[in-house]
Structure 1
Amino acid sequence: MKRLVLSLACLAWFVACDDESANYDWNDGATLSVKLTNGKFTDDRDGQKYSVVQVNGQLWMAENLRYADSSKTPNLKGNMWCHEDDGDCEIYGPLYSWTAAMNLESKYNSSLATYTYDYTYGVHGICPENWRLPTVDDWQNLAQYLMFTNGGDPIGADMKAVEGWEDEDNIPKALNRSGFAALPAGRRNSEGGFMSAGKYAFFWSSAQVDAATSSGWTLRYDNAHLDNGNYYKDHGMSVRCILAMSTASAKIEGNVDSSYLDNIPFDYGQMEIDGKSYKTIKIGTQNWMAENAAVKTDDSWCYNDDEKNCDKYGRLYSFEAAQTVCPEGWRLPTKSDFQTIYGAVGFGSSLRSRDGWTDKGSRGTNYMGFNAMPAGGRESGDFFDVTYSSYMWGSDKSVLWLRYYDEKISIEEKDAKNAFSVRCIEE
């Protein structure tokens, strides 16, 4: 094992280096394992169970830490609080001082802390074994990933739990598309007062800034952003733990929680083709049909000529027939339109429906409500790829292709004799 004393502030990037320090341990070749049951991790210290989600190769607890045993962890005593001192921390979890979160003596609330930082595992703090407090980098990476995948929307809405937040005019509603499920637990201020629950969520990182402050992250009811700030160490704030290694390095037994995907409150609109209503969904600047067209035309077919497949997947249209489907005010998408939605969501699973795809690959997340169904296609009288692929015609013979086995969003030109699905886009 190698040991070196480094400045924690140097690691944090966003502050200048000074004399605050941590003892750094390198554990070359180290690994860890974690067991999940029905998407939940059990803290052996007190039996509390926490939903766990995966975001960009990291496992995050999707609930605030609720550990509160000050007899086993003396540094918690006098440094954690229930909101408004009501004695009930079950909803929001305790609000911890930074030193409590780090499992340090309270004297470091007003002085520079020196402690051991494991270069492989990070700062364990009061998190369960094999879990740690998130670093500044962890929070930044989370934010950057969500910005890349959420269609250009502010990421705060994607991080907030669907219920519990106060509404504010002109602010996007909470969607929890990331599964992070941030609760508005408020904050305990240094002088002993509390900021409102229902309006604010404050989370600690492991990075101190100076003798009196440390880095934290904030979600608010009156904006849709994730903001970074420096907060007094003796503030009471929430704690989220992150697995101490990436999913590529750790041994994961069981599956993460994906139930939140079924509860995303999509803001669907509606349009009609020949008297039949179809859902629509806005993704960035575009407004798409969120269902495959099913209007009957010449040179269109149900998969395997079975009407039940038309009800489930919509019809498959020749390129010529596809150009006749969209109603006034709507049109077939162009290659550029496909490229725009690709850039907005990044991953194929974000567009794929939750159901209908073969179990040989990963389920779609339908993160954006696009609900792409694996309708397959038809060529020279033969049907192919139902439950395996989704093909959608563009106006220039380009085709948007999603498949079960990877995250790619392919845009390819296909022969006009093929028959594929149609999704119209609003002009």
Structure 2
Amino acid sequence: MHMIILLLSFLFLSGCDIGSGERVIAGYVGEYGKLVDSRDNKEYSTVVIGDQEWMAENLNYNPEARSYDEKTDDNYSVEGRMYSWEEAREACPEGWHLPTTAEWDELFRYAGEGHSAYESLSRLDGFESFRGTNDFGFSASAAYIVDDYGHLKKDNDRAYYWSFERSSGYGSYVEIGYGKTRSDNRSYSTKAYYHVRCIKGEPSLESSSSKKEDVSSSSAKVSSSSKQSSSSKEQSSSSVESSSSEILSSSSGQIKSSSSAVFVEPSEVKRGSFTDERDGREYRYVQIGNQTWMAENLNYVVDSSFCYNDSLEYCEKYGRLYPWSVAMDSVGLFTTPGNECGNNVICNIETMVRGICPEGWHLPSVAEGEELVVAVDKGAHKGTALMDSVLWDGKISTDPYGFGGRPSGKRLADGTYNWLGVDGSFWLSTESKHRTTYQARIFNYNDEWNGAMGLETDKNRGLAVRCLKD
């Protein structure tokens, strides 16, 4: 008798074909519906989750005249086909539509009440680093995508689906994967191809901005007043933390709120220079509104700092590249707030962090970076107003504020270097709150995310440092 029970349990958890031809998906004990796409007669399972009815598998409709033939290859469409943003908007069958960000958020909230949403929406065998429970029959699974740079790849711990952000009309996408669900990741790239899950009925008229939240691995019911999701590609921040225009008080070193971020005319900028007493190196600075920034990247020599391609000539032109732990001064050479704040810990620092900066200067926070962007771009996040007028490949900038943003490239964790001339990122002291892979927020000038504060990247990469005066 015990053996029979064990056998039945194994079949249930593994998923099996039963006499009716319906497949039992691990964890789900409800009933699936059926959708037949009249365009090609393909049949899909559907599932009701709360007040919504979703496709329980990825869309596999093949539109005519695909612009990228490789994506039609059956080797990559086992989990449904990949679609560009423009294709995704029109891809769903009649009576169904591409979900809005607000509708994805509603799904994530419902699945996250008393559960970990990423687990309860995922197939048991769908991801490499965790086992889903598939409590609601949504059956998310990792699959091939084409990223913003046009590279075909598969992230074995994340699934990517297109979404529609009604308030902007831009392409956006959601992630379901290890440790999180996340919505409103903005995509400006025409090269990206993700998957599509359709939802029944007409699109919700409610803007996702009024309901946004992130459901993490520890989520029960997450209050939208205390947490909001942040967008990212590596991903751009729209969270409460980055939009509150918080400013660090130089007297107490504590973070306090301010709404003083305003546009500053280039003619109002004050320029000067100062000397880093540690090595005698002189740096230019610019005062933009209430902030005084270094007008060039830090070039202070310390262990585990690098010159691009390990060549000193690049340090003189672009500054040095530092892993985040070095930028934060995790070994405590100069100060204590960043002490022992490295790759494998979440630091949760809420005070000003000097890090590797000269005395009287500190690593900027996301909010301080946002204040800079508002000051020079009226909130448009163009970024070009901060770019050096000479060094960028194929970019034209007059550098009206004298900020001298440099395309210093990056050093990857394996010791290789990339993106010199096209990417100008520098470290911020604010950590990501949404990933268990411990990543930090950066400022990035690349093609897709000009002037975006709060992009996430691996802490063990080498990036430039720009310091802000206390």
Q: TM-score, length-normalised on structure 1?
A: 0.43
Higher strand share: 1
Tell me which of the two structures has the higher relative contact order, counting C-alpha pairs closer than 8 angstroms and 6 or more residues apart.
1
